[in-house]
Each structure stands twice: as structure tokens, then as C-alpha cells.
Amino acid sequence: MFHIVFSADENYIPYTAVLIASIVQNTDTSKGFERLCQSSNMGDNSAIRNLKVESLSKRQEGYIFHILSDSVSEQAREKLKGLEKSLTEIYPCTIQVHIMQEFDFKQFPKCGAAHSNYLPYCRLKMDAFLNREVEKCLYLDSDMLCLFDIRELFALDLSDKIVAAVGDCGTKNRKIKFVQKGQKKLHFFDENYFNSGFLLLNAKEYRKEKIEKKCEELASCCTYITAADQDLLNATIPQDKVLKLPFAYNFQTICFCYAICKDENPNRLNYTRAEFTESFKSPKILHFGEKPWKYLKSYVDSEGRNISALWWDYAAKTPAFGQELLASKEKAQDYLIQAGLGAEALEHYKSLFGIFKIRSLIANPQEDLKVLQSANGIPDEAFGLCLIVGEMIFYARRRKRGALSVLLKIHKVQKAFLKYHHLSRME
């Protein structure tokens, strides 16, 4: 069986359902696991051909999906049963819900990515819900979409690696502050920093190296942490115990707008431009920064497709949840205001009076309806950039930041977009 783990509160159950449906619907039922992973087939897969494949043995087909949560209503449980029943007609699967208590995370700080609840830390304890016979499991964030037969991941030979993961696309100039034996200390991350939204876990090595305990011990003495579980895992798992996978397996969608690769800046994406381009053309799992249930339009992929629309295609085909999701679609319009604000800022920020225009956009939310009308005219290729800049306006409003800081950020992002946006699309 193939064990796949998610963490989701009640609100995220429908989005987790879409991800589960995409996994099952992309499973090639004409091929068993052994046939799928024969060396000839794996060799055709450019993203995985250079990775070691384990000696294949017969494996029972079927997915066991584990949802870790703080609370799931009876109504949601009934829908999950309906989802399970419908998807099993395509490929065998079961869905199990595991409720976790806040007491289990008393040592973990509520700050950064975990400022509102402890759910981001749940993946650290996923081994507690697996049988000891389970050697390998996959953790996925709920804001993802699967576009390939995910069973191929379970053929990877992890050997003595604790985890297989994908590099994070953000800056690596980050740190953890903690206290050890009464002394303040810093842990700095480097270019090997990975994104914890995708974790192919070697359960045996995870237990052997006591990673959960190490994360809890570090968390208990942290005074500053930004990315919650992601920072803890990067700090406690040695670099030589991480198998780096191609970016395709956790394609963070902001990189459809632009990506800065390691041969261009060592502190950014830890893949060469050539490696990134290969993943850009054939992503396997999309990891949405701009959530498609809020952003009906964001970035376009290498084929010019609106990736949010792609998610909605799967949402519409998700048993038990599709109708509910489609009904919520009509309420989404804040993304148009955000894109419209971004377009206005980009149009005027270089002008003599640009700073005054940006100051007006920050200070006068009542003008949002004006930009809403013009958002539909933004070209597809520029829409994602406009969203990024529009979020800067929203952020400045929330945090009461000045126009100058926004203007400088716009200049930096626009410059990067013009320099890097077309590189992967041209190759």
C-alpha cells in the first residue's frame, strides 16, 4: 500500500479532497506498480532517470490517505466517505482521519507560519499513525495538485536518507534564534534549505535518528522561528541525509512568474537554470502560493494555461465536494482588486509622481472598485506580477507601511521579472 499524509483543518478538507482526487485520477490503472517502475519505464522519465530505484518486490496496490486534523465535523466525514467510495471505483483507496490534540504541541511556539494554530507541526508526528511495517510515506500540503502517477515516488531507493525533498524557492538568508544552556544562539540556513510541503519520508531512518524528538527539543527553546516545521526539519536533518529531488515534484507556482536559479544567485532556488527549465516544462505536483479557490486567475504554465483554472477542472470532478466548491467560486473577487492595484502601481511607480500614486492606493481602499473594473484587461503573462505587487499594497495597508518601502519593492520585483520571466519559456 502507498501511504500519503495531509494536515488540514475543517476549512481545508475540501481542498485536500481535490488533491486526493487528482492523485487517484492520475493513477495509471492499466499498469501495476511493478510494471510502472520497471527500469525501461523509469528511464523514459527525465525527472527521475538519474535517481536510484529500489529493487522491486511485489507491493499491494492501493492508497491509504491519512488526514491529520484538530477537528473534522460529521458532515465532512460523511463527504470523505463518499469521496472514498467514488474514487475506489477507479483505484483502491481508503481515507483515515486522525485527530490531534493541542496538548501534543505544548512545546512548539505559536509564531510565524504557526501563529494561529499548531497544524503546521502535525507532519512532524505523522509517523505515530503509521504501522511499524510501513517503510515509506509521503506528506503533501493540501494546497497542491497532482499531475502524474504518484506511485513512481514509492519506487525511489532512499537507502539511509531520512527524507527526499525539493528545494525552497525563497531566499536562504534566514535563521532560527534559540537559547541553549542559557546562551542566545543562531542557526543560519544555506542553499540546501528544502520546502516541507512535500516530504517523502524514510520512516525507518526518521525513527532511528529521532527527528521528531530533536524538532521538539529545538522548538522548546526557540525565541524566533518563521517557517515552523519547515525551519525545524531543515535544522535537525543533516544535509547528507536529504535526497534532493527535481523541482517538478514540488513546483512552487510563483516560479511560473519568474525564478532566480543558483547559477544566477546562490541564495535563491537551488537548481541550475537548465534543471529548472526541465521541471518548468513538465511539473508533476503544483504547490499553489496564490490559492486557486481565492485566486481564479494567477500564473500561466509553459503551455499558456491558467493554473488556477487547471485546479478548478479537478475541483469540478471531485466526488462529494465538487458542487460545494463550485458554489463558492462566485464569491472570489478580491484577487481582481489585488491585481488591479498591482497594475495601477506598476503603471505609475516610475513617474515623477509615482510615490504619491502609491501612497494614494495604500491610503484609499474606497478606490478599489475602480481598479476592479480594469483587472480583466490585464494580459495573462503579466497577471501574476500584478498580483505580487497588489499584495504589497495590501500588506502596507495591514501593517501601516509607507509608500517608499512599497515603491522600492516594486522596483526590485519588476526588475527581476523583466530579467528572468522569459528565460525558461525561451529554452
Residue 381: how many CB atoms within 10 A of its CB?
A: 15
- What is the structure's pLDDT at 50? 55
DSSP per-residue string spanning 343-404:
HHHHHHTTSTTHHHHHHHHHH-GGGHHHHHHHGGGS-HHHHHHHHHHHHHHHHHHHHT--HH
- What is the structure's pLDDT at 46? 47
Q: Which of 60, 14, 111, 23 is nearest to 325 (CA)?
A: 14
Residue 119 and residue 256: Cα distance in Å, rounded? 28
Strands 183-188 vs 175-180: parallel, antiparallel or unpaired: antiparallel
pLDDT, one tens digit per residue, over 273-323 is 999 999 999 999 999 999 999 999 999 999 999 999 999 999 999 999 999
Q: Give CA torsion, residues 390, 392, 396, 397, to 10 deg.
A: 20
What are the residue ranges spanned by the domains of the chain?
2-327, 334-426
> What's the pTM value of the predicted model, to 2 decimals?
0.93
**pLDDT profile of the chain (427 residues), mean per 10:** 94 97 96 74 49 62 95 96 98 95 75 68 83 91 97 92 94 80 84 94 94 91 85 94 97 96 90 96 97 96 96 98 94 94 95 93 91 90 96 95 95 95 83
Helices and strands, counts by H and E, the chain: 16, 13
Kindly report the backbone phi and psi dihedral angles of residue 249, in degrees, each rounded to the nearest multiple of 5, phi listed first: -80, -10
Residue 176 and residue 158: Cα distance in Å, rounded? 28
Which element (helix H / strand E) includes 20? helix 13-25
Q: Give CA torsion, residues 166, 168, 172, 174, to 10 deg.
A: -110
Q: Which CATH superfamily is domain 2-327 in?
A: Spore Coat Polysaccharide Biosynthesis Protein SpsA; Chain A (3.90.550.10)
